[in-house]
Structure formats: structure tokens, C-alpha cells
């Protein structure tokens, strides 16, 4: 039965918290897998539709654009109709969209189905996070958030090799059909085991003007990011999209000052812990977004590995992330957020740059070791950012915070792929190679690794006792 609970009454037992986190994480894992698994299937789909393979990228960008437009409204819908109701409906929409994708007989039908999937995904990710964060005590937030880092870390790594296996040994519709049982189980699990949380007073009226401005800005900027340097659109069209996106951002900023409940509330950036997580996390996610794009490409083009072989190597990073999960809370309790975020930023950046040294004559165990340790650093860094972002957010503003945070996540992860691709193409053209060489990949890994390192000085500015209510870490005062 659906119940509405006051914020101060919400208190899940540890077992119920883990179950809720697992249900939410499973839905997010489905979304993360789907957004990456399709890439390897595009050539096969192009043959079915008798379409130019280059035009198939619209199946990716239509989904990303749908995400970009609807993520900002997710918090309002959760407050108005209840996080459980919206989360369950989002899973249903995503699952229906998946079924329609599998039955598509033309590129147009596929794009329409991907847009429907994107609407579901836009609601599923931030509302799932909101549902969990509003349902746990602050002392349980680290444990809960550690589950939510898994889809973001494992999905992009597992997706491409899984897509290759499905296309090789089955047919491309199975890429979408595998979502159906996960979606049905998810809907039932949400109905049976998760209680509803909502705040209809905080919802107010939906900021339709702000949604129009932010939706256009996100869509235009995503088009510019996705097409820059990739010859998918004429250069003038990419520049026009970028300029239009920036203009819409300025118009939104002016609009947001005039309304009480803007769809993206940037006044949240006045909260130091939230602002630190958004800014430092953005640099970190650029490196995280680029690595799953660069690594399989390098292993297949220059190492001569098959899709399955490269997938088995890249999956090592996911194993590192899984291995670290039980240690996240003890480490944060021992060292606190500030120290943990600084050292994990250093470690993650170093091991990203270390990928630049990969060569075909390296023993596989060396590659695995670098990726394993790098995965450990990234996992702890993800957990720290995604938890401390909400350390000082009042529960009444939690939905606004998840909308803004999810929007920034989507932009920066996509930006990571674009920057990785741009660095690779720039180095390739500068060295006058026909296709990227190992040295070109090395340049790209160094670039994204250094961008990730910008998070270090940002985290350095965080106060030593930041997030102590969540971690239980209490800095030892200096002796006088």
C-alpha cells in the first residue's frame, strides 16, 4: 500500500536500506548497460534498416537528447506524484521503449522508441537516487550510495563487450529484449518493497519556462558535444548548436532569478559540500566518461584484440570497483571526506595516465593490475562525491538537488567522451596518421588524466570536518 511519510519519520532498517539500494541500483544498471551496449550493434542494425552506418549515430544522440531535456523536471514530478510512483512509471516507460526498439523495422521507428526510453531513463536515474537518499538516515548514506556507484562504474565497461557477444551469437533485438525481465522484476520489487516519499508542498508549480530554456540548452549543447570533430554535422551546424546552447543558458539564468521554484536551482551551489562535489566531480567524470571509450578502441585497433578479449581486460576495472565497495565506509570513517577525495583524485588520475604507457608486449596481468587499482580509486571517489553532495542538503530541497546533480553528471560524462575523441583525433591528425596509433592514444589518456587531476585542488578547499555526520570521522584538533 502506498504511504506518505514525513521526512523526520523516514528511517529504514539496515536490511531494508540494502534491499532498497539494490532495487534502485538494478534499475540504474539496466539504464547504464543499455546506453552503452547499443554502440557495438549499430552496424548490424544499419544492415537491417538498409541505412548508412554513419546515420545510425542518431539512435545514440536521440536517447541522450531525451535524457537531457527531461532530467531537470524529474525532481518536480517526484515531489508532485511521489518518488516511488514516478520511479516505477519510469522503469515501465524504459521497458516499453526497449520492447519497441526491438520491434523497430526502420530508423525512424527506432529513434522514436529511443526517445521514449530516454524519457524513462531521465526519470529513473535522479528519482531512483532521490528515493534512496530520502529514505535513509544520514549515517547510512555512504553505505546506500556505494550501491549506486556500481551502475555508473560497471555499465560503461560491461556494455560494449556484451553488445559484441549478443550481435555475434544472437541478433541485435536481444540487446533491448534483455531489459524486459529486469524491468518487470524491478516494477514488482518497487511495488512490494519500497515505500513512497513525496513533498507536494515543495513541488509548487512546474517551471515550464525554465524547462523550455534548460531543455533547449541541454539539447543544443549535447548536439555540439556529440558532433564536434566527428564529421557528423557540418562545422557551422555544430558551432550554431554550441552558440544556441550558451544563449539558452544565459536566458535560463535570467529566468531562474524571477521564479520561486526554478526547474534547475543553482542557488544550491551556495552550499559548499554540494558545490565542491559538483565542480570536482565534473572534472573527475570527464576522465571516467573518456576511459571506457578510449580503452576498448585502443585494445582492438592497436593491440589486435577481439571485442570479447578487450572486454575481459576492461572488465578488470569493474572488479576493482566491486572489491572496494565494502571498504568505503571504514575508509571514510578513518580518513574523512576531504583526505579521501584528495588521495583518490590523485590515485585515479595517476592510473588513468598510466594507461598511456600500455603496450602490446605488456603481460596481461600488468594491464589488469593497473585497471584493477584504478577501478578501486574511482569507486571510492564516486562514492565520496555522490554522498557528500547531499550532506548538507535539507530534505525539502533534496529533489531539486538530485535534478541539478544528475543534469551535471549527464553533461560531464558525455563531455568526457567528446574530449577523449577530440584529443585522439587531434593527435592523429597532427602526426598525420590514417588511424590512431598507440602514441595518439597515449596523448588522449594523458589529456583526460590531467583533466581529472583538476579535482585535486578543488577538493583541497573542502573543510576538514565536511561530511563528518555521514562518515563518523572527527578530525583531531591540533595541540596548542
Model's pTM, two decimal places?
A: 0.81
| Rounded distance between C-alpha atoms, residue 345 and residue 380, angstroms | 10
The structural domain count of the chain equals: 3
pLDDT of residue 245: 92
Q: Is residue 246 predicted with pLDDT exceeding 80?
A: yes
For position 3, what pLDDT does the model report? 41
Residue 235's Cβ-side half-sphere holds a number of Cα atoms within 13 Å equal to: 1
pLDDT for 442 beyond 80: yes
Q: How far apart are CA 158 and CA 474, in angstroms?
A: 38
281 falls in which pLDDT band (50, 70, 90)?
very high
166 lies in the same domain as 35: yes
Whether the pLDDT of residue 40 is over 70: the answer is no
Same domain, 334 and 298: yes
Is there a contact between 204 and 77 (Cβ–Cβ < 8 Å)? no
Domain span at residue 467 reads: 264-480
**CA 374 – CA 376 distance, rounded (Å):** 5
pLDDT (tens digit, 9 = 90+) per residue, 352-378? 999 999 999 999 999 999 999 998 898
Distance, CA of 145 to CA of 401 (rounded, Å): 15
Residues 363 and 377 reside in one and the same domain: yes
Q: Are residues 341 and 427 in the same domain?
A: yes
- Name the residue with higher pLDDT: 75 or 268: 268
CA separation for the pair 272, 14 (Å, rounded): 29
Mean pLDDT of the chain: 83
**Percentage, residues of the chain above pLDDT 90:** 29
- CATH number, position 128: 1.20.1250.20
In terms of Cα–Cα distance, which of 271, 63, 258 is closest to 179? 63
> What pLDDT sits at residue 134?
78
> Rounded CA gap, 164 and 2, in Å?
42
Looking at the fold, whether 362 and 376 belong to one and the same domain comes out as yes
Would the pLDDT of 58 be above 90?
no
Q: Is 239 a residue whose pLDDT tops 60? A: yes
* 425 and 468 share one domain: yes
Q: Which of 201, 263, 216, 219 shows the shortest CA–CA distance to 74?
A: 263
3-state secondary structure the chain: CCCCCCHHHCCCCHHHHHHHHHHHHHHHHHHHHHHHHHHHHHHHHHHHHCCCHHHHHHHHHHHHHHHHHHHHHHHHHHHHHCHHHHHHHHHHHHHHHHHHHHHCCCHHHHHHHHHHHHHHHHHHHHHHHHHHHCCCCHHHHHHHHHHHHHHHHHHHHHHHHHHHHHHHHCCCHHHHHCHHHHHHHHHHHHHHHCCCCCCHHHHCCCCHHHHHHHHHHHHHHHHHHHHCCCCCCCHHHHHHHHHHHHHHHHHHHHHHCCCCCCCCCHHHHHCHHHHHHHHHHHHHHHHHHHHHHHHHHHHHHCCCCCHHHHHHHHHHHHHHHHHHHHHHHHHHHHHHHHHHHHHHHHHHHHHHHHHHHCCCCCCHHHHHHHHHHHHHHHHHHHHHHHHHCCCCCCHHHHHHHHHHHHHHHHHHHHHHHHHHHHHHHHHHHHCCCCCCCHHHHHHHHHHHHHHHHCHHHHHHCCCCCCCHHHHCCCCCCCCC
**Shared domain check, 221 and 121:** no
477: exposed, middle or buried (Cβ count in 10 Å: 0-12, 13-18, 19+): exposed
Of the residues 258, 282, 297, which one is the last residue of a structural domain?
258
Rounded Cα distance, 397 and 214, in Å: 19
Under the banding of pLDDT at 50, 70 and 90, the label for residue 476 is low
Same domain, 345 and 242: no
Confidence of residue 2 (pLDDT cuts 50, 70, 90): very low
**Nearest in space to 286 (alpha carbons), one of 410, 458, 404:** 410
Confidence of residue 139 (pLDDT cuts 50, 70, 90): confident
Could you tell me which of 330, 347, 376 has the C-alpha nearest to residue 473? 330
Whether residue 185 sits in one domain with residue 48: yes
Residues 281, 146 within the same domain: no
Per-residue pLDDT of 84-133, as tens digits, reads 899 999 999 999 999 999 898 888 899 899 999 989 988 888 888 888 88
Closest CA to 469 of 403, 397, 393: 393
Are 37 and 174 in contact by the 8 Å Cβ rule? The answer is: no
- Asked which of 174, 203, 232 is the last residue of a domain, the reply is 203
Q: What is the pLDDT of residues 188-230, one digit of tens each?
A: 999 988 877 666 555 578 888 998 999 899 888 877 876 766 5
Q: Is the pLDDT of residue 298 over 90?
A: no
CB 351 within 8 A of CB 370: yes
**Predicted pLDDT at 261:** 83
141 and 3 part of one domain: yes
Same domain, 392 and 432: yes
Neighbours of 125 (CB within 10 A): 27
Amino acid at each position: 500500500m502506498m504511504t506518505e511519510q514525513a521526512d523526520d519519520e523516514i528511517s529504514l532498517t539496515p536490511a531494508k536500506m540494502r534491499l532498497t539500494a539494490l532495487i534502485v541500483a538494478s534499475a540504474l544498471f539496466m539504464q547504464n548497460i543499455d546506453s552503452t551496449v547499443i554502440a557495438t550493434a549499430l552496424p548490424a542494425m544499419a544492415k537491417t534498416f538498409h541505412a548508412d552506418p554513419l546515420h545510425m549515430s542518431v539512435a545514440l544522440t536521440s536517447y541522450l537528447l531525451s535524457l537531457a531535456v527531461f532530467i531537470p523536471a524529474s525532481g518536480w514530478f517526484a515531489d508532485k506524484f511521489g518518488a516511488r510512483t514516478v520511479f516505477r512509471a519510469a522503469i515501465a516507460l524504459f521497458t516499453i521503449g526497449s520492447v519497441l526498439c526491438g520491434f523497430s523495422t526502420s530508423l525512424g521507428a527506432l529513434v522514436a522508441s529511443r526517445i521514449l526510453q530516454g524519457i524513462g531513463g531521465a526519470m529513473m536515474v535522479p528519482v531512483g537516487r532521490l528515493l534512496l537518499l530520502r529514505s535513509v538516515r544520514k549515517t547510512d548514506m555512504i553505505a546506500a550510495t556505494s550501491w549506486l556507484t556500481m551502475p555508473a562504474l560497471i555499465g560503461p565497461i560491461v556494455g560494449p563487450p556484451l553488445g559484441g557477444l549478443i550481435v555475434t551469437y544472437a541478433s541485435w533485438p536481444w540487446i533491448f529484449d534483455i531489459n524486459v525481465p529486469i524491468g518487470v522484476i524491478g516494477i514488482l520489487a518497487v511495488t512490494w518493497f519500497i515505500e513512497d516519499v513525496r513533498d507536494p508542498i515543495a513541488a509548487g508549480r512546474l517551471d515550464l519556462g525554465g524547462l523550455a530554456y534548460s531543455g533547449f540548452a541541454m539539447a543544443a549543447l549535447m548536439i555540439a558535444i556529440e558532433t564536434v570533430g566527428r564529421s557528423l554535422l557540418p562545422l557551422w551546424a555544430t558551432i550554431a548548436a554550441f552558440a544556441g546552447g550558451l544563449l539558452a543558458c544565459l536566458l535560463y539564468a535570467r529566468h531562474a532569478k524571477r521564479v520561486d521554484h526554478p526547474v534547475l536551482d543553482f542557488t544550491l551551489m551556495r552550499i559548499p559540500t554540494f558545490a565542491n562535489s559538483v565542480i570536482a566531480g565534473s572534472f573527475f567524470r570527464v576522465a571516467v566518461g573518456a576511459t571506457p571509450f578510449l580503452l576498448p578502441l585502443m585494445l582492438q585497433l592497436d593491440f589486435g584484440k577481439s571485442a570479447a578479449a578487450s572486454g575481459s581486460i576492461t572488465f578488470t576495472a569493474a572488479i576493482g570497483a566491486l572489491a572496494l565497495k565494502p571498504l568505503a565506509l571504514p575508509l571514510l570513517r578513518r580518513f574523512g571526506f576531504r583526505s579521501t577525495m584528495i588521495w583518490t583524485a590523485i590515485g585515479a588520475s595517476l592510473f588513468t595516465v598510466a594507461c598511456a604507457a600500455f603496450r602490446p608486449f605488456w603481460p596481461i596481468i600488468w594491464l589488469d593490475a593497473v585497471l584493477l587499482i584504478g577501478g578501486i580509486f574511482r569507486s571510492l571517489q564516486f562514492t565520496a562525491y555522490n554522498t557528500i553532495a547531499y550532506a548538507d542538503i535539507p530534505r525539502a530541497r533534496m529533489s531539486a538537488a538530485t535534478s541539478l546533480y544528475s543534469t551535471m553528471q549527464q553533461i560531464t560524462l558525455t563531455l568526457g567522451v567528446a574530449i577523449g575523441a577530440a584529443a585522439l583525433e587531434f593527435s592523429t591528425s597532427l602526426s598525420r596518421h590514417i588511424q590512431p596509433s598507440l602514441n595518439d592514444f597515449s596523448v588522449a589518456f594523458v589529456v583526460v588524466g590531467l583533466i581529472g587531476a583538476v579535482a585535486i585542488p578543488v577538493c583541497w578547499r573542502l573543510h576538514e570536518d565536511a561530511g563528518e555526520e555521514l562518515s563518523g570521522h572527527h578530525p583531531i584538533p591540533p595541540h596548542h
